[in-house]
Structure 1
Amino acid sequence: MSIANDSKEILRERAYDILRSEYRPLNAIFAPKTIAVIGATERLGSVGRTLLWNLITNSFGGTVFPVNPKRFSVLGIKAYPTVAAIGEPVDLAIIATPAPTVPSIIRECIAAGVKGAIVLSAGFKEIGTVGIELEQQLLAQIRESQMRLIGPNCLGVMNPITGLNATFANSMARPGKVGFISQSGALCTAILDWSHRENVGFSAFVSLGSMLDVNWGHLIDYLGDDPHTESIVIYMESIGDARSFLSAAREVALTKPIIVLKAGRTEAASKAAASHTGSLTGSDAVLDAAFRRCGVLRVNTIADLFDMAEVLAKQPRPKGPHLTIITNAGGPGVLATDALIATGGELTELSADAIASLNAILPPHWSHHNPIDILGDADPNRYAKTLEIAANDPNSNGLLVILTPQAMTDPSQTAQQLKPYAKLPGKPILASWMGGSEVSQGELLLNQAGIPTYPYPDAAVQVFSYLWRSSYNLRELYETPVLPTSCTIVKNRQDAFSTTNHEFSGGAGFENRQDACSTNYEFSDGAGILPACIQAAQIIDAARQEGRTILTEVESKQILAAYGIPTVQTCIATTEDRAVECARAIGYPVVLKLFSKTITHKTDVGGVQLNLMDENAVRNAYQAIKSGVQALAGEENFLGVTVQPMIELEGYELIIGSNLDPQFGPVLLFGTGGQLVEVFQDRSIALPPLNTTLARRMMEQTRIYKALNGVRGRKAVDLPALEQLMVQFSQLVVEQRWIKEIDINPLLATSEQLLALDARIILHESDIDENQLPKLAIRPYPTQYATPWTMKNGISITIRPIRPEDEPLMIQFHKTLSEESVYFRYFHLIKLSQRIAHERLTRLCFIDYDREMALVADYQNPETGTHEILAVARLSKLHGMNEAEFALLVSDSYQCQGLGTELLDRLIQVGQDEKLDRITAEILCDNSGMQRVCKKLGFQILRGIDSNVVKAEIQTSKPSPKGSEASTHPN
């Protein structure tokens, strides 16, 4: 492809982006051409007057229409009694009238075709029942229209790039590259004042208020697409729609840092919980886990919030936690070291080459280790040479340069010498120029060069640790996981399974056709083998039929076993004699535990007897448990005992569990288990579903993880097997939505085995309807779209959604593509090395099923068992619009087998399931084959944005004409 053609392609893409931007609904709010100010007045100090004044004194390139039925003009501008009376199209209506009047005003705006609204008025849900009713009226009207609304009870919106000040704040924000969003209007004004003092600029400044319509996810999407925004800073009081936030943040955080200050870290007194997991999963810890899962960085103070926005705009994220500290004074170096270790960072261990190079340029009495103390007489040249050596040390992930003013110190000249090192590839450089006014000129030079400065080294270290945490979170998200060894595909479309407890989205996401079970367990039609989800559901349904919310230990273990989680042998004994029989069959020593359908914590009522060596011990233990339960809980709670082998705990006791969070739904827990689990408090939390990489990251966040790797002569636990077990447990939680809380405690982990010694499951109350069950915060793998299919040549394949584990297969797939196939797909040639780069493939394989669906044709070689991807079809929702674009690519060797037609038809079905309005694609005029496939399936072929391109479009409300004849069509 020539440079000229490349330039043409870039221009075409830009033209398409501009065309698409015209349909972005939030443009009516952030880039309006006409604004109606409803409630405009001349009364001094009023919201209506301040708002109108801000709009007309800050030129935004549009027209303002005051609306006030009692005045002919406001501030010298003609006023109108209603929006309809304006007689011109209005993009944005800003409402500053009493709350009871707002629903009728919104109704008038919708009738007049107003595209966006900002409701500044207070007096809604914050005042109680009356306000909540007003909000419901607003929401009902908004949902029946195309209007988007910010608020109510907010400060408004600023777009400093265009000059729009649609707020009642006292001043206008400076233009810059930071998108700021806050729920608190009062904090917005404080941040605005702070930004003027610190010379911080914004690309957008938004007060969200009650988030009745536009929420975090919508604004993150909008700012993610905004070319003026380089980072997004958020002050959050409540998360609202958790799935929307996580979905948007996960997509945007990879290219634009998102930094959040969440109010309310301190938790109230712990509520009683039926499981150990329930007592360990606090709401703030769950929020931290959610932020990690989507690559968002959480900070603790307002200063941290903007420090991180600044440094991320100037410096790269580090690739590791190792910081090299250069200082001319020992004390600040020690303070920096303490702060680094306390915040989770590590000192760089200087390489032998680095030490040798430093010995050659530094005085004999330098520190000879990190921190590198270059002594109090260090001149600018010594600083520069030391920094150059430290920057080239492969062990280092970042650098901090500390300067204290001493007799020989020249802060300004030293800063000048450091400027060439401001942009180190993959290594952030920070500076702490201590000394106030004495070093101010040096600080200015560093900041101008892009090296952030801090008055104290511990503040700089805190920033580095935040940077490393941000890198770690993103690496966690996009590290290619290992495919679980037990993973097979469901053999056929079992529509009969649609009654199982899967989530129904009603068109909000790619999951409303949940007609199959877990991908991890094979369905054997007619062989009497049920999938794991059906086995578990039957046990749960039986308990619910009895009106129980507590499963017995035996039932709980049966559910674990159905999902491939090994459990200890367990025998139920309802009599003393039966307990002896069980003990003999199992072999001494044994353990007796209370068998009850009502008591979950057996040890609380003396319900566990250990290390029973003979028949007499078993009989005595049986009577002891029976009498203890009868005395403490009542005879009706004793149904007998379970007999289990006595397991010598030579390994580690772990806990794996799940509990329900009111904002995020089911959450997972891993950590140190046993009877003192609440005392040790060694746990990590994550959101389901997991893959093997995410499971390993959960382990790494606990103190016991070091022990699991082997300590003091003990063999390491089989960590890959533990990863697999956690993935299977995650799948259990995803599929069995009637489970409210579940514990495996303890899970015995040794180098030879993993064994669930005890299990506890609590169900949701019986008065909850199935459609009221909590949704997962992250959409799970859409198994309903995984089905077999046969190509025209007779080869059987599986068409299924893509998954992160497919990255190696995608690399091989791209090696099979001809230049023509690549050109037709991407409109220009892309080198293979670029197409298979990890950074690119993560975006293609690690998809959010709420936003995108990619189907792959998976062929498994029957002789070797190896898998090969033959084709990929992708459907991507467009931000702010109820439509999607498709893309299709088939390996050259498998074209003309009906594969493209089948994949595209399935994407149409996905679009119909999602209740999308339409699906479109741009196709090169030369790509006649793709155009034929589109026409066959009912697409219209329309003129494109240039002469080389056509546009394919289909209304997805209409069924595809292909029906069941897909396999007969040529591709």
Structure 2
Amino acid sequence: MTTMLQPSAPDRTHDIFRAKHQPLSAIFSPQTVAVIGASDKAGSVGRTLLWNLITNPFGGTVFPINPKRSSILGIRAYPNIAAVPERVDLAVIATPAVTVPGLIEECVAAGVKGAIVISAGFKEVGAAGVALEQEVLARARQGHLRLIGPNCLGVMNPHHGLNATFASQMATPGNVGFISQSGALCTSILDWSLRENVGFSSFVSIGSMLDVDWGDLIYYMGDDPHTRSIVIYMESIGNAGSFLSAAREVALSKPIIVIKAGRTEAAAKAATSHTGALTGSDDVLDAAFRRCGVLRVDSIDDLFNMAEILAKQPRPKGRKLTILTNAGGPGVLSTDALIRGGGELAPLAEDTKSQLDQCLPAHWSHGNPIDILGDADPQRYAQATAIAAQNPDSDGLLVILTPQAMTNPTAIAQELSQYAHNSDKPLLASWMGGEAVAEGEALLNQAGIYTFPYPDTAAHVFNLMGQYSYNLQGIYETPKSLSDDKVDRAKASDLLERVRQEGRILLTESESKEVLAAYGIPVVETRIATTVEEAVEQAEDIGYPVVLKLLSETITHKTDVGGVQLNLQSSGAVRRSFESIANNVSAYAKHQNLPMDHPHFLGVTVQPMVKLSGYELILGSSIDPQFGPVLLFGTGGSLVEVFRDRAIALPPLNTTLARRMMEQTHIYKALQGVRGQGSVDLDRLEKLLVRFSQLVVEQPWIKELDINPLLVKPSTGSHDQSLLALDARIVLHPVETPVQKLPRSAIRPYPMRYSVPWVMQDGTAVTIRPISPEDEPLMVQFHGGLSEESVYMRYFHLMKLSRRTAHDRMARICFLDYDRQMVLVAEYQDPQTKALSILGAGRLSKLHGVEEAEFALLISDEYQGRGLGTELLQRLIQVGRDEGMTCIRAEMLASNIAMQSVSRKVGFSLYPVEDGLVEAELLLAVPSDAEPGDTEPGDTEPGDAV
């Protein structure tokens, strides 16, 4: 029983599909355009807009709108859009800001589906402008009109000849999609591109992002066959969730390169926690870019270098580069740039050296860089390049040429060109010199080999390529499974609720550790003593030496008030320390004028003195205003803010993402074992980070959470104390905060509410649940049991098992953005062997820009006809309702009678369409209070990431 969402192979209906389901087509590919505010006045925006549209034919009709003119530039003008005799696809508005709400309302009434608002005078002028924007947005949404702007330069689609901007020139057609928040930068980039012969598939000034945002445009360019890479100039991210969802979906097939203005840490200034002080807003943005596979660069030169080279060359699998040169100096320079940027010189294999010995003079360098000497002719370059390209432990090749007396740059370029597409590794070239090498450089560029005037620049670009690959690999690398048996969510939730009911936001240390322990995070034994005698009794029971720490519901940092007493060896020391802490708190409260309506000293906690023989780490979480909860990991202890060795990540994590987070820190090298010290148990540390991220997303009342220090030691056994949280601090959001205002994770966590047990008609018990990244091996096994008929029905053509189960393809199925797609699988556990298997899968995919979705089903042959397909489809329909969808559709073969029967059974209407296809359609009644993407607190499962 199968149906199809979209054919896996490119198909003839792609353009029809885009026209039907891509709302931005009205903006980028209009047949009719109205210029509201068109003018005859020389130098005016209205005149420039009209002139650009009519002098760059896009194959459609332009209608000037001006109530005071009967014609403009010789073209009949209309008093308003209602008077235009044809339906208008796109309205370009260049009138005063106060007139825009009324004009948008007129556009909606006339059925216009796209608008570009050039006008300024909105939020940039203050509160009145903000109110005006909201009025514009409300009226646009009433008619499902998509709007770019306001305060923007406009939009170009060079391949269609559309120039809906007031720029002075039209961009050259090409394969780079360009989006900018700065209109002034757009004009500068346009001038530069014409001079450098850089072409664009789309050229967009996005303005204030009132409606259409980064996500909308990334989705559009992801669908656009003319776009091979996307470059962005960003000043603010706006809707973070929209950007992350779109970028993550598109980045694997089309590189996304961003230059973001403003590398500041202003957000850290207001921080009260160690985590907050270490987490700057720019750090969080970097973490977000890594999480969705976006490459961030620091210069406009890098922006376009990377856009072109990633579109032309394969991505390197790692960071190791082989360098081949005819001069020692450039080889050294490129090596320095490579190592400084985090890259490595690839070691030369013995076989590679042997082959080079046979074709190179005796005095070649015998190492990497491969110096083939200054008298190298075209044949020597060709032979050495062919050998170096096959160096097995290399991820890329850089070929450097300096013009010398015996050098023929053009002939060498001709020889090198034949290797342009013969390898799955990138090939870069640096032809140094001016006119002498220009012809050879042109030949290389024509062959698709990216050239650089300087070799250090080439090495820098290779490092950026390696970083891009590293980001993508982190997203789609299959994580290890993690059982859920150590998590007691209810216990943690109940404790937090009790604290809230008491009107508190600060948990005591012992309460904080209870929450950690509920998530399987090991904590040091901690006992409470409210009197001196209790403290002595607890210390005697634990055994000396012990540690006393302040127990308080109001004081945030115990060390600030002398609230920590270490290495206490006797009852007398415990008594003195208890009194000292009490006196310190009293003095601190008076000095700080703390309110006295609540006691600041409630006693102490008594803990065993743990020998700090390992490494002190910090693990924390705080709230970013744009991305919600963020995680921090790094070197901890009392000097945490001095060393500032930390990595930032967005939750939820899986084991792969946890390891990547650790790898970004300097302490990671020590954790692997240095100077005779063994490695810590990195697998356990990975799992601890995953548990911590679960806690953060499942308990939304937590505002700040620090574990500092988290002590880690080289492991000595499976039940040792090699990982131990010695101190913990949790702060909650204010008690009066409405639940719907609690910050949400920018990346939607695993939707646990869709995980339920179910029994098939034959009595087989299964669990229907959302798919997770860890399911890739089970999905490979599932595809191995499908018949050719099932495969044909699902994909409309036969597909080899090796292709269906390739990691890149499985990654797209298992590593979901739950805001965009939902795959429900039926999981069966064999009662005898306890082995797990997947019996069927159903997918619901939201369409871009509309409140519609498409479904697909695939059931194992052995389990067809037992009600599983019907149950999965019914549950997908419920997901659609929960997500605010108005319609669910699917296409299926007319011969797929079983799937048509299931569709009718659950309420779909069926319509025959062309070429033996049937479309199933179900209109949904969405509750008025439903909000798409709503999730419940704790809507996650361990080890799962989007």
Which of the five TM-score ranges fits, normalised by the shorter chain? over 0.9
Equivalent position to 2:640, from 665, 673, 677: 677
The corresponding residue for 1:727 is 690
**CA distance in 1: counterparts of 2:442 and 2:264, whole angstroms:** 38
The corresponding residue for 1:525 is none
1:544 to partner: Cα distance? 2.1
Equivalent position to 1:62, from 45, 60, 80: 60
1:651 to partner: Cα distance? 1.7
Normalising by structure 1, we get a TM-score of: 0.92
Structure 1, unaligned runs of 5 or more: 1-7, 489-519, 522-531, 960-971
Code of the aligned partner of 2:919: K
1:426 to partner: Cα distance? 2.1
The corresponding residue for 2:836 is 867
The corresponding residue for 1:554 is 510
The corresponding residue for 1:850 is 819
Equivalent position to 2:618, from 636, 652, 655: 655
**CA distance in 2: counterparts of 1:617 and 1:244, whole angstroms:** 58
Q: Is the 8 A contact 1:157 1:167 kept in 2?
A: yes
Equivalent position to 1:776, from 717, 731, 745: 745
Aligned residue for 1:89, secondary structure, equals coil
Equivalent position to 2:365, from 367, 373, 376: 367
Q: Is the 8 A contact 2:886 2:926 kept in 1?
A: no
**CA distance in 1: counterparts of 2:620 and 2:57, whole angstroms:** 57
Equivalent position to 1:405, from 403, 419, 424: 403
**Matched ranges for 1:301-700 at <5 A:** 301-484=299-482, 486-487=483-484, 521=487, 532-634=488-590, 636-700=599-663
Q: Is the 8 A contact 2:268 2:276 kept in 1?
A: no
**Matched ranges for 1:25-36 at <5 A:** 25-36=23-34
**CA distance in 2: counterparts of 1:924 and 1:86, whole angstroms:** 42
The corresponding residue for 1:528 is none
Q: Show structure 1 runs of 4+ deviating over 3 A.
A: 8-13, 266-270
Q: Is the 8 A contact 1:217 1:247 kept in 2?
A: yes
**CA distance in 1: counterparts of 2:134 and 2:877, whole angstroms:** 34
Aligned residue for 2:452, secondary structure, equals coil
**CA distance in 2: counterparts of 1:17 and 1:805, whole angstroms:** 35
**CA distance in 2: counterparts of 1:616 and 1:426, whole angstroms:** 72
1:689 to partner: Cα distance? 0.5
Instruction: Write out per-residue CA displacement over residues 495-537 of structure 1, whole angstroms, 9 at most, x where no aligned residue.
Output: xxxxxxxxxxxxxxxxxxxxxxxxx74xxxxxxxxxx333222
Aligned residue for 1:453, secondary structure, equals strand
1:712 to partner: Cα distance? 2.1
Aligned residue for 1:22, secondary structure, equals helix
Equivalent position to 2:703, from 725, 735, 740: 740
Equivalent position to 1:802, from 762, 771, 774: 771
**CA distance in 2: counterparts of 1:267 and 1:647, whole angstroms:** 35
**Matched ranges for 1:889-900 at <5 A:** 889-900=858-869
The corresponding residue for 2:880 is 911
Code of the aligned partner of 1:955: L
1:700 to partner: Cα distance? 0.9
**CA distance in 1: counterparts of 2:201 and 2:180, whole angstroms:** 14
1:9 to partner: Cα distance? 8.0
1:20 to partner: Cα distance? 4.7
1:13 aligns with 2:11: yes
**CA distance in 1: counterparts of 2:914 and 2:150, whole angstroms:** 39
**CA distance in 2: counterparts of 1:144 and 1:553, whole angstroms:** 52
The corresponding residue for 1:192 is 190
Instruction: Write out per-residue CA displacement over residues 53-100 of structure 1, whole angstroms, 9 at most, x where no aligned residue.
Output: 000000000000000001111001011110001122000100000111
**Matched ranges for 1:791-830 at <5 A:** 791-830=760-799
Q: Is the 8 A contact 2:111 2:143 kept in 1?
A: no
The corresponding residue for 2:935 is none
Q: Is the 8 A contact 1:16 1:945 kept in 2?
A: no
1:682 to partner: Cα distance? 0.9
1:953 aligns with 2:916: no
1:11 to partner: Cα distance? 10
Q: Is the 8 A contact 2:8 2:795 kept in 1?
A: no
Q: 1:891 to 1:53 in 2, by over 3 A?
A: same
Q: 1:269 to 1:478 in 2, by over 3 A?
A: closer
Code of the aligned partner of 1:939: F
Code of the aligned partner of 2:141: R
**CA distance in 1: counterparts of 2:816 and 2:735, whole angstroms:** 35
Deviates more, 1:347-356 or 1:167-176: 347-356
Instruction: Write out per-residue CA displacement over residues 565-604 of structure 1, whole angstroms, 9 at most, x where no aligned residue.
Output: 1111101111111100110111111111111111121111
Q: Is the 8 A contact 2:389 2:423 kept in 1?
A: no
Instruction: Write out per-residue CA displacement over residues 753-790 of structure 1, whole angstroms, 9 at most, x where no aligned residue.
Output: 31111001111123422211112110000000001011
Identity, % of aligned positions: 67
Q: Is the 8 A contact 2:268 2:281 kept in 1?
A: no
Aligned residue for 1:777, secondary structure, equals coil
1:900 to partner: Cα distance? 0.9
Deviates more, 1:662-671 or 1:355-364: 355-364
1:539 to partner: Cα distance? 1.9
Q: Is the 8 A contact 2:21 2:847 kept in 1?
A: no
Q: Is the 8 A contact 2:614 2:712 kept in 1?
A: yes
1:17 to partner: Cα distance? 4.6
Deviates more, 1:456-465 or 1:147-156: 456-465
Highest RCO, 1 vs 2 (Cα 8 Å, sep ≥ 6): 2
**Matched ranges for 1:745-756 at <5 A:** 745-750=708-713, 751=715, 752=720, 753-756=722-725
Q: Is the 8 A contact 1:605 1:633 kept in 2?
A: no
Between Structure 1 and Structure 2, how many residues are aligned? Answer: 909
**CA distance in 2: counterparts of 1:570 and 1:653, whole angstroms:** 19
Aligned residue for 1:850, secondary structure, equals coil
Q: Is the 8 A contact 1:224 1:252 kept in 2?
A: yes
Deviates more, 1:53-62 or 1:602-611: 602-611
**CA distance in 1: counterparts of 2:144 and 2:281, whole angstroms:** 35
Deviates more, 1:817-826 or 1:267-276: 267-276
Q: Is the 8 A contact 1:319 1:426 kept in 2?
A: no
**CA distance in 1: counterparts of 2:17 and 2:392, whole angstroms:** 46
1:720 to partner: Cα distance? 1.1
**CA distance in 2: counterparts of 1:61 and 1:537, whole angstroms:** 61
Q: 1:544 to 1:844 in 2, by over 3 A?
A: same
Q: Is the 8 A contact 2:268 2:278 kept in 1?
A: no
Code of the aligned partner of 2:812: R
Aligned residue for 1:353, secondary structure, equals helix
**CA distance in 1: counterparts of 2:849 and 2:110, whole angstroms:** 21
Code of the aligned partner of 1:122: A
Q: 1:852 to 1:33 in 2, by over 3 A?
A: same
Kindly report the root-mean-square deviation, in angstroms, between the aligned alpha carbons of the 2 structures. 1.6
**CA distance in 2: counterparts of 1:10 and 1:452, whole angstroms:** 31
Q: Is the 8 A contact 1:809 1:869 kept in 2?
A: yes
Normalising by structure 2, we get a TM-score of: 0.94
Q: 1:185 to 1:146 in 2, by over 3 A?
A: same
1:23 to partner: Cα distance? 3.8
**CA distance in 2: counterparts of 1:590 and 1:606, whole angstroms:** 16
Q: Is the 8 A contact 1:597 1:637 kept in 2?
A: yes
The corresponding residue for 1:876 is 845
Code of the aligned partner of 1:607: G
Aligned residue for 1:637, secondary structure, equals coil
**CA distance in 1: counterparts of 2:507 and 2:141, whole angstroms:** 42
Aligned residue for 1:604, secondary structure, equals helix
